[in-house]
Chain A
Amino acid sequence: MNQEYTEIVKDHFFHPRNVGRLSTPSGSGTVGNPSCGDVMTIDIIVENNIITEAKFQTYGCAAAIASGSMTTELIKGKTITECKKLSMNDIIKQLGGLPEEKTHCSNLATEALQKAIKNYQKNSLL
């Protein structure tokens, strides 16, 4: 590939997990905007403070797709508190590393996740 991607990144890029939207999410978050290039949406379902289901969509490069896939895999079964701590570096580590100029792509995924969690917390206050 044009960038030196790890086998894990390639696997998640070619076979992304959890692609799509959820019909009744507990929370959802979208970051970026198409006019500057990158968009990521993450939907989550939360039961008893645990994320039981997650899906993502992205308009982005290979690293963004792999990050969305990895993030949604990692958060399933984890508590909201655990997921709130999930950082860009955690995703990059799980992917076996990303080229320097691609780190912001995984940020897209963690930001979308944090936004989805906030959205869930707001919804649950209602």
Chain B
Amino acid sequence: MKQVYMDYAASTPVDSDVIKSMMPYFSKTYGNPSSTHKHGRLALQAVEHARKQVSSCFNVDPETFLFTSGGTEADNLALKGIAFQHLPKDLGKGPHIITSTIEHPAVLQTCKQLEAYGYSIAYLPVDETGLIDLDQLKETITEDTQLISIMYANNEIGTIEPVEKIGNIAHKHNVLFHTDAVQAVGKIPIDLSKLPIDLLSISSHKIYGPKGVGALYHTKDITFDPLFQGGGHEQGKRSGTLNTPGIVGLGKACELSQKRLKKDISQLEQMSDYFIKRLFEIESSTLNGHPTKRLVNNIHFRFKGIEGNALHSLLDEKGISIATGSACSSKKIQASHVLLALGLTPEEAISSIRFTIGRLTTKEEIDYVLPIVKESINHLRSISPLWKSNK
């Protein structure tokens, strides 16, 4: 059976050049990059070369990037690293960190944990397109505020936040600005030499690199507490033996993403415009998120009267991989926090699905998927008590 992958926001296939670049670092150049003998020095060279590849992708100096085990760790390190420099009792009443209600769990759950430790967190709401309100941000900042963390682009609905404006507001108030750019890299040009961003998280497996590796960008004068105590790797900011092959893969993936950026963007834009236009042909279909300020590879729709998980199962059976906006918990369906934050009703949230396309997606694949999606929706609507009664 034909297999069609349309879940690139969840993960991407590793590019063959990336695999090639990694191969020598498993069993040929296997030394510990911290060792001072030749085996170690060769590995260190590879790590430092990768650091250059990553940093030049963002037009900044290599020492501004440290390697992590992925986007999740980079987010945790940015938030806890800044927060833990002060005990909550030594701070004013806050908010100490300002974030949004639509962040990835790597940020949201970290904030919840910090709250449990006594830090005060403000969660900014978003409008029906997923954008935060800049005036509200300004009003929420106090002299106790240490950090603002707002994602570059949302992983579910693809909405792109006004990071430049957010950073300018933050800096005007002497507040640090962290952004989770995991989904933005490779789809939006990001020049960190020009942007008012202090900390930025990236992840390799979303940009055709290997899983389990990422990086945190931090401006040179920034100090933060490490998450791990250990051998003091990465200037003491992130202990743990460096993952040489993973880091080399991330470096290569960044280099390729920079090289292909224009081509990738125009190709993805063309295909998602076409996909969106064709999905609108389906009766009672609505695009979730922002009509224009959205990631070029994100197609997030809701279809009245159908249940997203059932549609997911039907498409899965036909070899088509997509994502839904809800997870089934033991008692009832848990609608996505992002979709509810947009103001969607639980029913609307549950009837939503996400397609995310990528480098390997073809127009033929989209044309193959469309009639199957239509057929599946018709099938589910014919069973649904919420369909005819809604018309």
Contact = CB atoms under 8 A, between A and B. Distances in A.
Interface of A: 1-3, 5, 10, 13-14, 16, 19, 30, 34-41, 57-62, 64-65, 68, 101-102, 104
8 contacts: A13-B313, A19-B383, A57-B383, A59-B307, A61-B307, A61-B309, A68-B383, A104-B331
Nearest to A41: B385
B332 A61 contact: no
A3 B346 CA distance: 23
Instruction: Pick the most buried of A57, A61, A104: most chain B CB atoms within 10 A of its CB.
Output: A61
B309 A62 contact: yes
A64 to B, nearest CB: 8
Nearest to B332: A36
B43 to A, nearest CB: 40
Given A13-B310, A58-B384, 6 more contacts: A2-B313, A14-B314, A37-B326, A41-B385, A59-B306, A104-B331
B385 A30 contact: yes
A25 B156 CA distance: 43
A62 B385 contact: no
Contacts, number: 77
Interface string B242-277: 000000000000000000000000000000000000
Contacts of A1: 313, 316-317
A37 B313 contact: no
Contact of A34 (B313, B330, B331, B386): B386
B353 to A, nearest CB: 12
A65 B316 contact: no
Contacts of B310: 13, 60-62, 64-65
B313 A62 contact: yes
B313 A59 contact: no
Contact of B316 (A2, A34, A35, A58): A2
B386 A39 contact: yes
Contacts of A58: 383-385
B307 A37 contact: yes
A30 B385 CA distance: 10
Contacts of B307: 37, 59-61
Instruction: Pick the most buried of B312, B330, B345, B384: most chain A CB atoms within 10 A of its CB.
Output: B384
Nearest to B308: A61
Given A10-B317, A37-B307, A38-B332, A16 B346 contact: no
A113 B313 CA distance: 25
A59 B386 contact: yes
Contacts of B331: 104
B382 interface: yes
B308 to A, nearest CB: 9
B317 A14 contact: yes
